[in-house]
Every structure is written in structure tokens, then in C-alpha cells.
Structure 1
């Protein structure tokens, strides 16, 4: 496993992103499914290729728990991530690293009533060395595509009973 940025990991463990990063953005979306179902869909990283078409080769190293790592490819670029804060149906955070790249993702899940969930995301990214074109607006677009992908994935799955 590649080395995880300890400072960014500590922030994500506290449910925060790196406010000094070159790119910071957030978003939210409402999903017609119970909060546990939405959280599980995102926490089970094997689902990610079904959430975003540019994600592939997802390999968890163990269960979804703090410190557990997983590897995956985004747009063909391999990265390593580690879960930082794992609170089922409430919060899920992780950090992602690659040479010249560091990112923190914080997802929070709000119960909106009968089988409706709001998922909120905030991310920080320092990719200045490898992808200087990623700014706040580009990151916001990436977050929007993740949120829309989670919504589509969850709302087309049969609801577990």
C-alpha cells in the first residue's frame, strides 16, 4: 500500500477535509431509500464501478472499518484509499493518495423521513503536481457525478427486506 498522508487522514478521521487544499467542494442529493441502504451502497466499495463508469479494479483489503484500505482505478489511474471514519448510516470518510495527489472525502447521511435520505459530501484535493486543472469547479462536478451515480445505483436496486 502507498503511504497515506497522515495529516489528511487525521482530518478525515475527525470528519473534516483539508481547508488549505487547492480544491475544496461539496454537494448534496436526496435519495429515495433508507439511510442504511444508501450508506451500505457507498461503503461497499465493490459497488463503485456501478456508481461511476470510470471506476474499475476495486479491491478492498478487508471490511469497511477505520484504517482499512482499498485500491481502485479512476479513469485508469490506480489509487489507494483508506477509510478514516466509519459510522454506519451516519458518516463515512476516506483519504485517497497517489504520487502527487492527496484527497479527503467526507460523506454524511441525513434521514429525511420514510425511506428518504439526504447524502452530503465535502472533499478536498491537492492534485497540483499531477492535475493542476482540478480546481473548485472541477471538483464540484466530480462530486455531483458521484452523488448522481449513488442515487441512480441505489434507486434502481431492490430494497433489502
Structure 2
């Protein structure tokens, strides 16, 4: 199963990073990769999100409705998007690395018959989107900590 990955260390406690991820209404201030179309609805296991995804600035947004499969406060958020022949699982993990620092990891696991045809075209842009989101989250959280 192909996987895309971004990881960054953030100078803030895990609870602060988690709060920034959970406050979807504030994503517009820092997140240029994922856009939530229902920012007033909290993350709740079993609910669907309505998201737009923008891999690169020149690209049109792609709308998806993933199912939230896990909300483990201060530790992990997971959702899955399925389409015929395609499945994308996003996993956001927070790990305490001491001294009020957090390791943020965002993985996207891809599966399905369509992946082998589409991955060569989206891999680089999708990977950059995950990395951009990690950098933006770090900047947003650390600026709010000062």
C-alpha cells in the first residue's frame, strides 16, 4: 500500500497542537492544503467531513467526504475517503517528545486499483501538500505560543 508522509517537530505541548487541529473554524488562518466546508461541526468518530483539498496553488479544489474513524484526544485523528477503486486514509498523530515539544506526523495511506494509475500524477503534489500543512501548523501554533 503506497503511503505519503510528513513529519515535523513543534515547540508546543501536544494539547496545544491538538487544539489547533480540532479548531476547524481557524484552519483558514493557517491551512492551505485542506479546507473544511463545515467548520462549525466538531470532529466526531462516525461522522462525515466535507473537505476541499488543494494540493498546489494553481490547482482547482477537490471536494471529498471522508468518514472519521478515530478521534483519540491529544494523540490521533484518522479519517478515510473511499471512491470506486480508490481509498485514502489520513492519519494525524501527535507524540510528546519532551520539554513541551510535539512530533506531528501526517500520513496518507492509499489503496485500490486506481492508485497505481493516479499515484504517478499526484504523488509529488500530494506529498508537498502534506508537508506544507505540517509547516503551516508549526508556524501557526508556535506564533500563538509567544
TM-score range, shorter chain: 0.7 to 0.9
Can you give the 5+ residue segments of structure 1 that lack an aligned partner in the other structure?
1-19
With the length of structure 2 as denominator, give the TM-score of the two structures.
0.76
Query: By percentage of residues, which structure has more helix?
Result: 2
Q: Which residue number corresponds to residue 121 of structure 2?
A: 133
Describe how 1:1-20 pairs up with structure 2 within 5 A.
20=1
How far 1:105 sits from its partner (Å)? Answer: 0.9
Q: Which residue number corresponds to residue 131 of structure 2?
A: 144
Of 55-64 and 115-124, more deviation after overlay is shown by: 55-64
Can you give the 5+ residue segments of structure 2 that lack an aligned partner in the other structure?
55-60
Q: Which residue number corresponds to residue 37 of structure 2?
A: 58
RMSD value, Cα: 2.7
For this pair of structures, how many residues does the alignment match?
137
Q: 2:142, 2:104 → 1: CA distance?
A: 13
With the length of structure 1 as denominator, give the TM-score of the two structures.
0.70
Of 52-61 and 105-114, more deviation after overlay is shown by: 52-61
**Alpha-carbon spacing, 1:58–1:99, altered in 2? closer, same or farther (3 Å):** farther
**Alpha-carbon spacing, 1:99–1:145, altered in 2? closer, same or farther (3 Å):** farther
Q: 1:101, 1:61 → 2: CA distance?
A: 28
